[in-house]
Amino acid sequence: MKQKEQKNGMNPSQEQLPAVEMRVNRLGKGDGHCLAHLSVTLGGAFAVRGLRLMEGKNGPFLNFPSYKSSNGYQDICFPVSAQLRQQMTDAAVAAYRQVLDRHQAEAATQSQAEPEEPEPASGIGMQM
């Protein structure tokens, strides 16, 4: 069996990628490189929590759950193909932008809906 072939006889480039459902749990605080904290469901069968969408010098990227070992940080789970990594990153960026758009729309709606405070009456009925 060739080294690149998998047990099912398919090359990694022929793989069927699972459906990726990305959810933003919360947005980053805006004081660092973390844009959002996310969860993902792969193929409707496997869920991973603790992903972070980070802003890097080459654009956004996904940071996967990890633990600190004597050799530095070790990923707990990660995509094994570049195609799946790219699909997950694209889904994370799309989910992040959707949440940002929704927050901006809500902020605009609230600013339009806030009634102006009435001006205080000028001394009528007030004693000092």
In a domain, 31, yes or no: yes
81-116 pLDDT, tens digit per residue, is 999 999 999 999 999 999 999 988 888 887 776 666
* CA 51/CA 100 separation, integer angstroms: 18
In a domain, 55, yes or no: yes
CATH code of residue 50: 3.30.1120.40
SS3 readout for 8-40: CCCCHHHCCCCCEEEEEEEECCCCCCEEEEEEE
In a domain, 92, yes or no: yes
36-52 pLDDT, tens digit per residue, is 999 999 999 999 999 99
Q: How many independent structural domains does the chain possess?
A: 1
In a domain, 69, yes or no: yes
In a domain, 46, yes or no: yes
- Rg of the chain, C-alpha, whole Å: 24
DSSP annotation of 7: T
**66: containing domain:** 20-103
In a domain, 91, yes or no: yes
